[in-house]
Amino acid sequence: MTQLPDFRLETYFSRWEFVARHHMTASDMQTMGLGELLTLADDQDRAAFENMSLGYTTPRGDPALREAIARSYERADADDVICFAGAEEALYIAMNVLLGAGDHAVVVTPNYQAAETVPLSLCEVTGVALDPDNDWDLDLDQIKAAIRPNTRVVSVNFPNNPTGKVISVAAFAELARLCDEHGIHLFSDEVYRGLERDPARTLPQAADLSARGLSLNVTSKALGLPGLRIGWLVCRDRALIDRLERAKHYTTICNSGPSEILARIALKARTTILDRNRALLTRNQPVFDAFFAEFPDTFEWQAPDGGCVAFPRYLGPEGVEEFCTRLVEEAGIFLLPAGIYRSELTPTPTDRFRIGIGRADPEEGVAALTQWMRAHR
């Protein structure tokens, strides 16, 4: 395995996620129980789950699951889909298949750390930063300037983690066209797709825009089912799908059979689950709006365009790292400071923190945070 640096986010989560009293930086939507998910199953899928054999499954993923995934795309079918043990495995394998010594990649920042560190372990990488002074927008001219003759991948993530940014449909389509013009794979992390505040701003999927595009998705984030550990890549380049499968033979080989059936149920009920989750975000946002409105001299708040995380600015004199440390140690309130999202490629803001807005009943955590702020303002 290529030597990689410590995964800052996961290291921080392993310390605090299950011991903090108020987990306020969750990156996934509120989950559901197994029984609740099974109520969404049709008779055939419920019987398949109850009577399944616990043997090996096919490396590319359960055919019925891949068909369900393909139906959420405009131009893909089941043979364009390959499933993995979560989005992380998919990202890791894709970068190792697409990139090698002598290649070059372009990665947008800030980002999920693996989107940067995995390519950096393989080849030269240029970062292009979203602009916090321009509503976190993506400058396509910077993407163009970063492209080299040996550029193989441009990696993006919208709705973005941690900023919640969604660029315009026109800009995303132009990005796909630009990649096609240069023979580059557009690798698009779309794990929050479906949670846009304005559905009209929902971006097309990279695999629909380009035969070379790769769309990454997972049951974890927008659907709120991280325990299933089922992710996927969709790409209409069948030869690339073959290469991805051969690489997977060296990692998980195949996925969990029970998880694949449960993921199939979730994908078939995708509209119902996303409607529930968007309603939860709509309900929750005023709770966070009211909190940040009480402390305008301490925070700059902007609700995310999409997804269930936001990246507010902290204006306190001690800095955001100390602020987040004191919060979790003194009050059990868990937030992610900006240092978790620092980049080796570009400058990134040092005065921000990630907060999650997609869990049910956030009032208890917000009340605890409000109480602490009033006592320490």
Find out whether 232 and 81 touch, Cβ atoms under 8 Å. Answer: yes
CA-based end-to-end distance of the chain: 47
Determine the average pLDDT of the residues in 252-274: 98
User: Do 104 and 247 fall within a single domain?
Assistant: yes
User: Do 231 and 346 fall within a single domain?
Assistant: no
Q: Which two tokens stand for residue 117?
A: 């560190």
Split at pLDDT 50, 70, 90, the class of 172 is very high
User: Do 94 and 228 fall within a single domain?
Assistant: yes
Can you give the pLDDT at residue 251? 97
90: number of Cβ within 10 Å: 23
Report if residue 212 sits inside a domain.
Answer: yes
pLDDT(43) > 80 = yes
Pick the last residue of a domain from 239, 269, 299: 269
Report if residue 1 sits inside a domain.
Answer: no
Report if residue 55 sits inside a domain.
Answer: yes
Can you give the pLDDT at residue 194? 98
Q: Residues 271-288: pLDDT tens digits?
A: 999 999 999 999 999 999
Cross-strand partners of 129: 109
We report the CATH number of the domain holding residue 322 as 3.90.1150.10
Report if residue 75 sits inside a domain.
Answer: yes
Q: Which of 297, 301, 292 is nearest to 315 (CA)?
A: 297
Report if residue 284 sits inside a domain.
Answer: yes
* CA distance linking residue 223 with residue 70, whole number of Å: 16
pLDDT(377) > 90 = no
Report if residue 2 sits inside a domain.
Answer: no
User: Do 236 and 135 fall within a single domain?
Assistant: yes
pLDDT(178) > 70 = yes
Angle between helices 257-268 and 63-70 (to 10 degrees): 30
User: Do 167 and 207 fall within a single domain?
Assistant: yes
Determine the average pLDDT of the residues in 261-279: 98
Range in 102-106, 306-310, 373-377 the model is least confident about: 373-377
Can you give the pLDDT at residue 17? 87
Determine the average pLDDT of the residues in 85-111: 98
- Phi-psi category of residue 108: left, alpha or beta, with phi > 0 → left and psi -120 to 50 → alpha: beta
User: Do 159 and 67 fall within a single domain?
Assistant: yes
Q: Which of 47, 34, 63, 66 is nearest to 232 (CA)?
A: 66
Can you give the pLDDT at residue 2? 61
User: Do 286 and 142 fall within a single domain?
Assistant: no
pLDDT(1) > 90 = no
Into how many domains does the chain fold?
Answer: 2
Report if residue 322 sits inside a domain.
Answer: yes
Can you give the pLDDT at residue 332? 97
Can you give the pLDDT at residue 9? 87
User: Do 244 and 277 fall within a single domain?
Assistant: no
User: Do 169 and 314 fall within a single domain?
Assistant: no
User: Do 154 and 225 fall within a single domain?
Assistant: yes
Report if residue 3 sits inside a domain.
Answer: no
* Percent with pLDDT over 90 in the chain: 97
* CA distance linking residue 75 with residue 234, whole number of Å: 10
Per-residue b/e over 191-219, b at no fewer than 16 CB within 10 Å?
bbbbbbbeeeeebbbbbbbbebbbbbbbb
Determine the average pLDDT of the residues in 101-105: 98
User: Do 109 and 221 fall within a single domain?
Assistant: yes
User: Do 20 and 41 fall within a single domain?
Assistant: no
The pTM assigned to this predicted structure is 0.97
SS percent in the chain: helix, strand, coil, step 5? 45, 15, 40
Tell me the residue length of the chain. Answer: 377
**Mean pLDDT estimate for the chain:** 97
We report the CATH number of the domain holding residue 223 as 3.40.640.10
Can you give the pLDDT at residue 4? 92
Q: Which of 346, 291, 332, 338 is nearest to 311 (CA)?
A: 338
Cross-strand partners of 105: 125, 153
Pick the last residue of a domain from 241, 269, 297: 269
pLDDT(208) > 70 = yes
SS (H, E, C) 262-321: HHHHHHHCHHHHHHHHHHHHHHHHHHHHHHHHHCCCCEECCCCCECCEECCEECCCCCHH
Contacts of 1 (CB under 8 A, 6+ apart): none
Determine the average pLDDT of the residues in 342-348: 97
289: number of Cβ within 10 Å: 11
Pick the last residue of a domain from 216, 239, 269: 269
Query: Domain range spanning residue 219?
Result: 34-269
